[in-house]
Amino acid sequence: MCSIMGWCGSRFDEELFMKGFAATVTRGPDNSQTVNLGEGLLGFHRLAIMGLHPEGMQPFIMGSSYAVCNGELYGFEKTKAELVKKGYTFRSGSDCEIILPLYKEYGTDMFAKLDAEFACIIYDGENKEFIAARDPIGIRPLYYGYASSGDIVFASEPKNLVDICDKIMPFPPGHYYKDGEFVCYEDISATDGYCYDDLETVCRNIREKLIKGVSKRLVSDAKVGFLLSGGLDSSLVCAIAARCSEKPIRTFAIGMNTDAIDLKYAREVAEYIGSDHTEVIISEDDVLGAFENVIKYLGTYDITTIRASIGMYLVCKAIHEQTDIRVLLTGEISDELFGYKYTDFAPSAEEFQKESRKRIHELHMYDVLRADRCISVNSLEARVPFGDLDFVRYVMAIDPEKKMNIYNKGKYLLRHAFEGSWLPQDILMREKAAFSDAVGHSMVDDLKAYAEKYYTDEEFLQRKALYSDPAPFTKESLLYREIFEKFYPGQSAMVTDYWMPNKEWEGCNVNDPSARVLSNYGASGI
């Protein structure tokens, strides 16, 4: 991960900018640089992943233009070779150095051409204007707001902007900003038409595209590791990576010291694929000692995101402190594509697809945000193979009738695609368990019990009335909201709503986001 920031306008406050920029130095602890353009300011904190030499430091400069980019541009070598043929020269091995030549060649059309997870800010020196853009899923973070001067300010995280902007908002994924407007260059959840291939063809394509998505994310000049929960998604990423690697991959799992569900399954997967496996064991004290900082790092009050982030943050903290790994591959985004436990209740294929589109649109505020912050605050980089653009486009176009749970097994297409020797059969067919539950049911129970003791019933009723859009509805949600407001006062609009099952569906009108409260949870908790 890296951190970028740009004050786009000549009425900047450099001291205020530097104070805000310093808030995310953990995203890029290797080197930092800011540049005063006269027309504005650009800043970059570097975590060196591709092109480890000093020449890869940003901002990149071409003539009078500058660019900062937090991203991974896959297959950049081919693009770079084509640009060399056109007369461009390069100083480094960094993938992001191609940004300015691409902009020179294609303008804003370049963004739709990228196979990348990225957020970037460009200063076009010829036209004296700023352009910013974000990848179609929003895997790389970017926020914006307006300073008191009226200038727009962009930054990797909201904490960069809290003292500069009255209102902070996430930069919309799949958009670029130019001439004062946000323009959509791709809605990745949309499809021109459905793919009606037979089941075996669909599953073969899923398998081949996911393998490509994993393999391209193994390319790194820094060391790579893997988060392994023992669930289907992270286990598949690890299994594919193990086959693509010449030596054993390094995997990491986390669980409570009392009732961890995931650890035994992660251990089984690690033994099967031959990985160098590490277990991180945590206690109630670890959980209660971490959650306030986790909320600060995340910039959210969402219950599901915070619960799931505690385990991820603590395992990443251990990786940062105990290893020299810099890149982590994770299993996020599979559920949004193939379904959750609650989408078993979808009343029709049309409703299933509609829900999937909604979740893809909102990913940047929930699971993707969680992965980014928990990993980046520990000076690591997240890569998300299920977020591969080609893979997402394909799965979103599969006939939703096939993605419905008509097989008596959720996410059947993904499971069937990897039947064979990829994973043990019990792992491949293991029921979905939410990460926050699988770390140990006691973790969520400990958090809820803490919140119950923190407020009396009367205090809860009085204090929850202070908040709306959305309003807290449990003591746990009130606790998280009050901590959020301490660090991000008045910025609740950064998150659309609480992540919850679709309450309009029969069986889903529940008052807790955990799948544990659904009638079909069953073997997920075993």
Give 17-42 pLDDT, tens digit per residue.
999 999 999 999 999 999 999 999 99
pLDDT of residue 325: 96
Q: What is the number of domains present in the chain?
A: 2
224-227/250-256 β-pairing: parallel
132 with 25, same domain?
yes
Q: Is 461 annotated as a binding residue?
A: no
CATH number of the domain that 8 lies in?
A: 3.60.20.10
Q: For the packed helices 441-454 and 475-487, what is the interaxial angle rounded to 10 degrees?
A: 80
Overall residue count recorded for the chain in this entry: 526
Query: Phi/psi of residue 41, each to 5°?
Result: -130, 145
355 with 246, same domain?
yes
Task: Find the largest Cα–Cα distance for the chain.
Answer: 71
Q: Which of 124, 159, 184 is the last residue of a domain?
A: 184
- Domain residues for 16? 3-184
Stretches where the chain sits below pLDDT 50 are none
**Do 264 and 287 contact (CB within 8 A), yes or no?**
no
Q: Is 92 left (phi over 0), alpha (psi -120 to 50) or beta?
A: beta
Is 129 part of a structural domain of the chain?
yes
Q: What whole-number percentage of the chain has pLDDT above 90?
A: 90
pLDDT of residue 435: 66
178 with 216, same domain?
no
Q: Is 95 annotated as a binding residue?
A: yes
142 with 215, same domain?
no
218 with 357, same domain?
yes
Q: Which residue among the candidates 2, 120, 165, 374 is catalytic per the annotation?
A: 2
pLDDT of residue 382: 93
**Do 64 and 122 contact (CB within 8 A), yes or no?**
no
2 part of the active site: yes
Q: In sequence order, which residues have a C-beta less than 8 Å from that of residue 136 and are 6 or more positions away?
A: 173, 174, 185, 186, 187, 188, 389
Give Cα separations from 396 to 212, 329, 333, 336, 383 (angstroms): 17, 22, 12, 10, 20
Is 39 part of a structural domain of the chain?
yes
Look up residue 387 and give its two tokens: 């977020």
Is 351 part of a structural domain of the chain?
yes
pLDDT of residue 241: 98
Alpha-helical regions (H) of 219-338: 232-244, 262-273, 284-298, 303-322, 334-338
Is 491 part of a structural domain of the chain?
no
Is 505 part of a structural domain of the chain?
no
Is 83 part of a structural domain of the chain?
yes
The string over 393-409, giving b where at least 16 C-beta atoms fall within 10 Å of a residue's C-beta and e elsewhere, is bbbbebebebbbbeeee
221 with 335, same domain?
yes
Which DSSP letter does residue 302 get?
-
Q: Which of 184, 208, 237 is the last residue of a domain?
A: 184
Q: Is 288 annotated as a binding residue?
A: no
Q: How far apart are CA 378 and CA 374, in angstroms?
A: 7
218 with 79, same domain?
no
CATH number of the domain that 210 lies in?
A: 3.40.50.620
